[in-house]
Amino acid sequence: MQQKAEKCGRKFRNQARLLEQAQKDCNDWEDIAEYRRQQWVKAIRERDHKQDQMSQLARERETVQERLVQITRERDTALRVSENRRRAWDMHRIQSLERENYL
């Protein structure tokens, strides 16, 4: 009877150790899963942040492009005005020379 009880006790202790090891393994796997989930959440947040940055940069690029178009138009206008002034000055000199030659 004593031997049977010892055998049964060893069997239960062995099963308890196996259960304890299984629980430890389960906890380890849960920790790993949580760590991976946190990495996934971090990656998603970083991706969202990068997308927000890209959107902001796209808006800034559009603003810069609009400003560049405006500056280009202003430069073109200034060049036309300058060319018109030069032509007017040339016409004035020609007319002055013609008047001097006429007199």
Q: What is the pLDDT of residues 73-92, one digit of tens each?
A: 999 999 999 999 999 999 99
Long-range Cβ contact pairs of 61-66 (< 8 A, separation 24 or more): none
The pTM of this model reads 0.55
Cα gap 57→83, rounded to integer Å: 38
Estimate to the nearest angstrom the gap between the alpha carbon of 56 and the chain centroid.
8
| Percent with pLDDT over 70 in the chain | 95
